[in-house]
Structure 1
Amino acid sequence: MVERAQRFINTTYADGATLGISKLEVNGKTGWPVMYALTRALQYEMGIDNLSNSFGPTTLSTLQTKYPKLDDSTVPSAIFCRILQSALYCKGYDGGEIDGIYNSRVKDAVAKLKADMGVDTVYAGSSLEPKVVKGLFNMDAYVTVNNGSDEIRSIQQWLNMRYINRKDFFIVPCDGHHSRDVAKSMLFAIQYELGMADGTANGVFGPGTQSGLKSHTVGVGATGTWPRLFTAAMILNKRNVPFGNFTAEVKTGVEDFQSFVKLPVTGFGDFQTWASLLVSYGDQSRKGTACDCVTMVTPPRAQALKDAGYKYVGRYLYNPSSTNLPEKQIQPLELETIKYYGLRCFPIYQTWSRSADYFKYSQGCIDATNAIEWAQIHGFKPGTIIYFAVDYDAMDGEVTNYILPHFKGIYRTVGENSSYGVGVYGPRNICQRVADAGYAAASFVSDMSSGFAGNLGYPLPTNWAFDQIATVKVGSGDGAIEIDNNIASGRDTGQGDFNAETPITSGLDTDLDQTKYRAEMLKDVQTYLTSIGVPETGGEGWTADGDWVTYGIVSTTEAFNLVVNADWLFTNLARTLKLRKALIQAPVLWELRKLNLLDALADEAVKNGLKDDSSTGWGQIFAWVTIEARNYCIQKGIINGVPLTSDDKRAVWNNLQEFEYNIPSAAYLTIYNAHQLGIARPSLTTSQADTQKLLARYNGTDGRAEQYGRELIGLYNVLENYNKLSRAQ
């Protein structure tokens, strides 16, 4: 029937220009494209000149003027009726045969729709009133969907029933889920109950609303609309209380909520509790004990903060700009000042982080590596939680596709390569979803942005540490400083003491300057490999197992591109492990270039259970040796992790299929090989002789391994030449 509705639009408005849209895909799937088309068709049939996807004020007012009730006697035409029938089907209701007849099936569907909306007692019968039509022509659901709450649905229906006749109140979804529209409808409801007139009530938590709420404290025994609104707000914040009167059970729930958000525990629905339930920032006059700022905490400012009752100060580990907000990054001796005045600091890492395209797994790894380095430079001790910022209003789909992979990279990198913890800064939904994925121990919530979709309709995250609620100024004269006032939960108390020693940062590898060197680097790699008998494509040679094979599944250019495209990961590893990037790049590039049919067959044998292990992935590493290498590095405190056993072999082999796991394993194997050879751990100054020994050991211990080392030291030198040029810039 949805297909029929789509065909109806396509044939009735066949030229496309009439509605100003492209032809609909006839796929039987409801969605915004078909709802927009139906909206435009409705506008066209009512004589509106400027058609729009939006069912806005003009569409509604025209409908109210021309057709205050649509039924079998008032529908102006068969086409008009077919538009309504099509919308019913796209909404999941029986629209009859889409034949232009407002028959008994249509009437029953309309009655069911209004009952689902909760407005059947206000709009009795089977006619379509303008606000019902507006609710019909969108993607809101009026039945519980996606494990929605029946209790929340009953609140949504009650709001619709009670306030639908107010001018600026429109039907909200009845899907059992809190949302932006439901949050705004609650504010309208509060304002209506405070006596605000249509046109004055605006759904904004402004001074008039706040003033009115201060005289509407509710407590045990309260009945009527105000406790009903209060318990609704509690339920929408995922508090398990009954919807209705203020009972002893509600009081217990209020006390739990107040304790959770760090309000005075009174058991009453007082103004501060109302505020925390209705808007993300709550009562902005609350005095916080934490703050964050983009200016240096000097001795006079530290004293001013301390005098104002602040204990914890959030400061930024790094600022990529030397001109914009020049004091944003922690300044020299600043942490000594913070310590001297008895304050504590929690670190924040942010570079850009203000659009979806910034966030991805690789960028998370890069940010984590940089944050670890800067935290060590500033002297933050093990156990410090670093808050990584998401400073924009990411939609839920963007959280899934961009933010979570980003934090997966952060979590893996920080967890494996440091003793720091991971925190997340951002709107409520982002913080909770990152926490639920297991990627953050604590949340720093950007609740000042109350209009963010990620804050509206979402409760305070369960692991919140700092709640940012207002920008304020404290102090005067030299002590004046603008800060963001934060409520502290006590989950993170920052650091009050800092390491004095400075970690090694000079001479480390940097990202390859690909604009300047990529083409030259590829040419030199091709020239060198050709000189030792490895052409651009194809080739033959001995394997480590003594088999003569034809290789060349991957060309030299393809292998090179894979390695250079993953330059971020090689750089991260080199900087973290304090060794030369080319020492990891050379064997990985070589193994990619030498991939052959026997490698593929061996992998298939493992997948099919015929073998328990094979050399696999980019670096062609066995799971058993990966286990030994990782365990050695864990034992020596080089990386963090739980020691692996032979029972983990298949899981490790599976992980080796991901280059993000395979390449670090190649690096750890190189360190382990140094131990096996009895030579010094690879460093920034490892000699050519030892480098060749390490490259040879990557392939084993026999004569072929020695040849492997002789061949790879030349490739190493080509790669290192361009890494060195990039370091020098």
Structure 2
Amino acid sequence: MADEMVRTAQQWVNATYQNVPGYQPVEENGRTGWSTVFALTRALQHELGLSPLSDSFGPATLAALSARWPVIDHTAGPANLVKIVQSALYCKGYPGSGISGSYDVETANSVRRLKEDTGVIGVLPGFGLVPKVFKALLTMDAYVVLSGGSPRVREIQKWLNSTYVGRRDFFIIPCDGHFSRDVQKALVRALQYELGMDDDTANGRFGPGTQTGIRNHAALNTGAADSTRRFVRLFQAAMVFNTWDVPFDGRYTAAVAGTVAEFQRFACLPRTTGAADFPTWASLLVSTGDPTRRGSACDCVTTVTPARAQALRAAGYTTVGRYLSNVPGSKLNKKIQPGELQALVAAGLAVFPIYQTKGGTADYFSAAQGADDALAAVETAREHGFQRGTTIYFAVDFDAMDHDITQRIIPHFRMVSQRLAQYGGEYRVGVYGPRNVCRRLAKEGLTVSSFVSDMSTGFSGNLGFPLPRDWAFDQIATITVGTGDGHIEIDNNIASGRDHGQNRFAPAPPGRPALDLPFDMSRQPALTQDIVAYMNGIGWGEGVLEPLTHPNSPPESVSMTLGHDELITGLSRAYRVRKFTIQSLLLTEVRTVTRDDPVVDLTVRANYLYEEKLEEWMKNPVGDPPAPPLVRRTDSSTGPGAIFAKTAIKARNHAASIGLIPDERLNAADWHDVWKVWKRLNEDTGYNITTLALVTIEAAHELGITTDRLRYGEEETRRILARYNGTGSAADGYGTKVLGIYRIFEKHRTPAG
């Protein structure tokens, strides 16, 4: 929403500085953003006589401001400088008396309130604006609790500001209740100050000097308390930032030690004593934790030969992550090789699969790519014999920003999850990526476990984010093990025990029929021409009155069917059925649907809405019971595949009984189950088309057709198509007609290779 005072500030800064070399005008939209902050920063630099202008409020800007106006108040500061202050205050949400250039009472009160919100009022008292507070003002940082923020985190943020703002290079951090990159770096810098580092040495990085200092000076046990050095509070701050509930009072009590022990167990640290030792400090302060820890899991891009497998086992590893795919165009051959899984198992090792083609930039990720990745991962995992229930870790191998996750990665994984469910729920979705990616996908319910790329300590998606609660593997360092033929470079991973990998494989037998490929859309005109000619010949063509009774013409029906080609291809490959079976039935049902069918569907919906209301009334029978609808209908052939709910229940129960899908058994005699399935058939096109494929599989079972589904002959196919429509002579006629459509789709199939 636009703020008129922010718009006024934008108009003023543009009008005043538009002709200044290096000034970049800001859009006058009334919305605070970095562009407005940068414009005000450049305006300040011009007032300070700096050149060239830049977006950064860096050391030069701070030094010039400190030299010329160490305090801006009613006694010091030119009008334009005060107007910059007033404009920035409005952008931060603090009230003022307009952009007047006068450091009046309201401006002074807003500056004081800013100091209170940042926690520095005790050390920087009064109503004047000092350079470090001015620097904080010219950021997009918030100093009040934002949505989802923690008041306890904000309390610690304010304490860090008040305690360390006097140090040369400690600048005011956000006080928004959220752990973040800047807050994490500030915490490390504060620890460095307490370790005795001077301003030239303390840099906010978890380097060798900091690590040595922690080992020598910051080990904490029960009974420790802060005095001249504040190690306990800083350790408590690190625990709170990592979402572990301890007091922030500078006392290392038995209760604190108990919570620390819980964290140590969660992070699988070497010791779970509850003491603040170096590995515990490290795991709280940097994504790798102590990178010298030896894990029991690893991953690698190198083929694991028998000698390498023995070397890994001898080094204490039990689980190995290997890739299902290569990167297209790359010379690196990182995918699982023939015989490799057998070598790993023979050495006593289990395997977890990783799927990554590119995945190294945001533009790779999309719903369409997610669908492709899901199918490729399922097929490859099956070829290698990974069992049902295996988690496949789909890679996000870059420092994804929050907007990348929202706009690209979540839609990608939503489609991966949806497709894997449609293909029978055989495999579970995991993610390899930075902490923030893992956290957000888990929150969306799109993944079951995380393989965390914590070795990338500089990723913004790792800095300032706690270890995800669903972590399975934590990648912390690249090392080498073995010698000679057994020498191999690996990424060393800590394993939580959430995923033990797999040590039994049933690879696909050789010589199986080729699977069907996506349709070549350049052939659509020829396919449509053949379908139209065929339908005209069997009486399913478009007569004079057809548009009045049937909403979808033959060409429209072809387009609608091909619009689902990606899903149908995936279903055919996942369930090992000819895609022409699904296509021909779907096209037929889309074409033969009548304009009365939606009306019939409404009567089914009305019936079950009544049943729900009646059930609620019976729990508390006050007043008159709900009136039943005039027409009571409990089922109808609904959705693009024109499937009855009871037919769907029967087919899905059969598919579950043979291990094709993980569904719970449903009861066609229970109206709750019928209503639940009918709604999904009616509202979820993907579910409907998936069920269509399962109906054909159940039909073959009923007919006693046990041949490989990819090897059905024409008569077997005709009988299955007929069974989709029921039994008897009418169904037989239906099957014969649909078989003709099947032949046309087969004629226009994409050739293998």
Considering the TM-score relative to the shorter chain, is it more than 0.5? yes
Unmatched segments (≥5 aa) in structure 1:
543-547
Offset from partner CA, 1:376-395 (integer Å, 9 cap, x none): 32233344333222222222
What is aligned with 2:82?
81
Report deviation, 1:145.
1.6
Q: Partner residue of 2:581?
A: 583
Q: Which residue of 2 aligns with 1:688?
A: 714
The answer to whether residue 353 in structure 2 is matched with residue 353 in structure 1 is: no
Which of these residues, 258, 266, 283, is aligned with residue 276 of structure 1? 283
Q: CA deviation at 1:366?
A: 3.6
Q: Which residue of 2 aligns with 1:24?
A: 27
Q: Which residue of 2 aligns with 1:664?
A: 690
Matched, 1:526 2:526: no
The Cα shift of 1:120 comes to 0.8
Structure 1 contact 217–270 (Cα < 8 Å) conserved: yes
CA distance in 2, matches of 1:400, 1:310: 36
**Which amino acid in the other structure matches residue 524 of structure 2?**
M
> In 2, distance between residues paired with 1:13 and 1:179?
32
1:226 aligns with 2:224: no
Give the number of aligned pairs. Answer: 714
Cα distance in 2 between the residues matched to 1:554 and 1:347: 44
1:448 alignment counterpart: 455
Kindly state the Cα deviation for residue 371 of structure 1 after the two structures are TM-superposed: 2.5
- Secondary structure at the aligned position of 1:472 is classed as strand
Displacement of 1:181 in angstroms is 0.8
Does 1:617 pair with 2:639?
Answer: yes
Matched, 1:236 2:224: no
Q: Please give the per-residue CA displacement for 1:450-508, whole angstroms capped at 9, x wherever unaligned.
A: 11222111211212221110000112222211000111222222223333663775411
Change (3 A) 1:554 1:111: farther
1:154 alignment partner AA: E
1:652 to 671, 677, 680: 677
User: Structure 2 vs 1, CA of residues 315 and 25 (structure 1 numbering), >3 Å: closer, same or farther?
Assistant: same
Pick closer, same or farther for the CA change 1:526–1:534 going to 2, 3 Å: farther
The one of 692, 717, 721 aligned to 2:747: 721
Q: Could you tell me how far 1:581 is from its partner in structure 2?
A: 1.0
Give the letter aligned to residue 696 of structure 2: T
> C-alpha separation between the residues in 2 aligned to 1:568 and 1:623?
25
1:571 equivalent to 2:574? Answer no
- Match for 2:383: what amino acid? I
Letter in 2 for 1:523: A
Which stretch has the larger CA shift, 683-692 or 231-240?
683-692
Do 1:522 and 1:557's aligned partners in 2 also have CA atoms closer than 8 Å? no
1:379–1:502 CA contact under 8 A, matched in 2: no
Equivalent residues of 1:580, 1:683 under 8 A apart: yes
Match of 1:340 in 2: 346
Structure 1 Cα separation of the partners of residues 186 and 84 of structure 2: 28
Does the aligned pair in 1 maintain the 2:532–2:541 contact within 8 Å? no
Deviation, structure 1 residue 136: 1.4
Structure 1 residue 641, shift from structure 2 partner = 0.7
Q: Separation in 1 of the partners of 2:492 and 2:158?
A: 37
- Aligned amino acid, residue 659 of structure 2: G
Q: Is the 8 A contact 2:426 2:661 kept in 1?
A: no
Seen in structure 2, the aligned counterparts of structure 1 residues 23 and 468 have a Cα distance that, compared at 3 Å, is closer
Distance in structure 1 (CA, Å) of the matches to 2:3 and 2:388: 59
User: Which residues of 2 match residues 51-62 of structure 1 at below 5 A?
Assistant: 51-62=53-64
Alignment match, 1:104: 105
Please tell me whether the aligned partners of residues 317 and 349 of structure 1 are also in contact (alpha carbons under 8 angstroms). Answer: yes
Report the Cα distance in structure 1 between the residues aligned to 2:417 and 2:377, rounded to whole angstroms: 12
Aligned to 2:443: 436
> Closer, same or farther in 2 for the Cα pair 1:504/1:101, shift >3 Å?
farther
For 2:536, what is the secondary structure of its paired residue?
A: coil
State how far apart, in whole Å, the 1-side matches of 2:402 and 2:680 are: 28
Is 1:67 the counterpart of 2:69 in the alignment?
yes
2:604–2:635: 8 Å Cα contact kept in structure 1?
Answer: yes
Which residue matches 1:126?
127
Secondary structure of 1:684's counterpart equals helix
Q: Residue 531 and residue 298 in structure 1: after superposition, are their counterparts in 2 closer, same or farther (change >3 A)?
A: closer
Q: Is the 8 A contact 1:428 1:447 kept in 2?
A: yes
Larger CA deviation: 215-224 vs 181-190: 215-224
Instruction: Give the unaligned 5+ runs of structure 2.
Output: 610-628
C-alpha contact 2:586 2:641 (8 A) present in aligned 1: yes
Judging changes above 3 Å, is the alpha-carbon distance between structure 1 residues 147 and 501 closer, same or farther for their aligned structure 2 residues? Answer: closer
Tell me the equivalent position of 1:398: 404
In the alignment, structure 1 residue 259 sits paired with structure 2 residue 265: yes
Does the CA contact (< 8 Å) of 1:241 and 1:253 recur in 2? yes
1:53 Cα deviation after fit: 3.9
1:587 CA displacement = 2.8
Q: Aligned letter for 1:566?
A: H
What SS does the aligned partner of 1:70 have?
Answer: coil
What whole-Å deviation, never above 9, does each CA across 1:565-615 have from its counterpart, x for those lacking one?
432211111111111112112232344455554344445555665665544
User: How does the TM-score come out when normalised to structure 1?
Assistant: 0.90
8 Å CA contact 2:157, 2:174 repeated in 1: yes
For 1:34 and 1:707, how far apart are their aligned partners in 2?
71
Matched-pair identity in %: 47
Is the Cα–Cα contact under 8 Å of residues 587 and 712 in structure 1 kept in the other structure?
A: yes
**C-alpha distance in structure 2 between counterparts of 1:468 and 1:648, whole Å:** 44
Q: Secondary structure of the residue that 1:638 maps to in structure 2?
A: coil
Distance 1:675 1:390, change over 3 A: same
* Stretch deviating more after TM superposition (227-236 or 56-65): 56-65
What's the CA shift for 1:676?
4.8
Q: Deviations over 1:70-90 (max 9, x none)?
A: 21222311x433332222122
Report if the CA contact (8 A) 1:674-1:682 is conserved.
Answer: no
Do the aligned partners of 1:525 and 1:718 also contact (CA within 8 Å) in 2?
no
Q: Which amino acid aligns with 1:439?
A: L
Query: Of 649, 653, 668, which residue of structure 2 is paired with 1:631?
Result: 653
Question: What is the CA-CA distance between 1:175 and the residue it aligns to?
Answer: 0.9
Alpha carbons of structure 1 residues 210 and 556: separation in structure 2 relative to 1, 3 Å: farther
Residue identity opposite 1:371 in structure 2: A
SS at match of 1:456: coil
Q: Tell me, in whole angstroms, the C-alpha distance in 2 between the residues paired with 1:498 and 1:671.
A: 26
